[in-house]
Amino acid sequence: MIKIRSMKESDISVISKYISDLGWGSKTDTLKKYLFEQSSGERDIFIAEYDGELAAYVTILWIPSYKPFNEKNIPEIKDLFAFYEYRKKGIATQLMDKAESRIKEKGYKTVGLGVGLYSDYGTAQRMYIKRGYNFDGLGINYDGEILKSGIDVRVDDSLGLCLTKELC
C-alpha cells in the first residue's frame, strides 16, 4: 500500500544513506535545505511510503531557479526519485499526481519540470510525455542556462530539457 505524506526530518538520514550507498555522494545538506525551504513555504516535499517503508520523494519549487519558469510564475516539480527496489509499482505516478494536484490546488494553471538527457533518465522522459508534458520550446539547458548552438557541454545530471503541462 502506498501512503504519501510531507517530508519530516527523520527522512533525511534514510534518503541520504540510500543515495550514498549508490555511490552518488552525500545528499544530506541538500535535503536539509529542502526541509528548511518546506518550513518557509518555498518548497513542498512529498514522501511516498510503500508498506510502511520510505520508497520515493518529489519536491515542488514554488519560485523556480529556471528563469523561463520563474518569469512566467510556473512552479517546478523537481527531484523525483524512487528507490530502485520500489520502481514499477506506480509510486512515482502517485507522487506526480499529488504534486500536480497540489499545484492546481494553489491556483496555478501550468506546471514545469526538467529532465536529464542521458539513458538513466529514459523512464522519466517517457513518463512525463505520457502524462501530457510538452517541451518548453527553448532547447536544452545546462544547470538552468539555455544553450546556444556550437557549445560543447558535459553530459551529466545538469544537462536537461524542460517541459510544461497545462493543468485542467
pLDDT in tens, 138-155: 999 999 999 999 999 999
pLDDT of residue 34: 96
Domain residue ranges in the chain? 2-166
Q: Write the DSSP string, 16-58.
A: HHHHHHTTS---HHHHHHHHHHHHHTSEEEEEEEETTEEEEEE
Name the pLDDT band for 124 (thresholds 50, 70, 90). very high
CA distance 148 to 168: 33
pLDDT in tens, 39-83: 999 999 999 999 999 999 999 999 999 999 999 999 999 999 999
Q: Which CATH class is domain 2-166?
A: alpha beta
CA distance 53 to 140: 36
